[in-house]
Copies of this chain bind each other. A is one copy, B any other.
Amino acid sequence: MKVIADLCIVPLGVGVSLGRYIAECEKVLKAAGLSTRLHAYGTNVEGDWDEVMSAIKRCHEVLHAMGVPRISSTLRFGTRTDREQTIEDKVRSVQGQLP
């Protein structure tokens, strides 16, 4: 089963500058071979369900290993059986309707 997801990881207990932690998660997702697209409030991720979820678990593990005591994340995730769809398809399905 394929999933398109949007992940936002929020490390707690390490101050207010979080870019360094988010960058580590980007590396984890890339190392897992997943297609990603960073934006200002999260990252689009696409791939096989198990691979995506396994990489997200690894993100939490890596941040805890860096000394982050608590993490509160949010994930949007969609699956569909009617047709195949990529991150690019989703963006195009909206942009194609804009002037």
- Spell out A's residues near B (CB within 8 Å): 1, 4-6, 8, 10, 12-13, 15-20, 22-23, 26-27, 37-42, 44, 46, 49-50, 53, 57, 60-61, 64, 68-82, 87-88, 90-91, 93-98
Contacts and interface: CB of A to CB of B under 8 A. Distances in A.
B40 A6 contact: yes
Nearest to A25: B94
How many copies of this chain? Answer: 4
B71 A41 contact: no
The 7 closest A-B pairs by CB, nearest first: A19-B93, A6-B41, A23-B97, A13-B16, A70-B80, A40-B90, A40-B87
A14 B92 CA distance: 20
Given A69-B80, A76-B42, A78-B70, A10 B8 contact: no
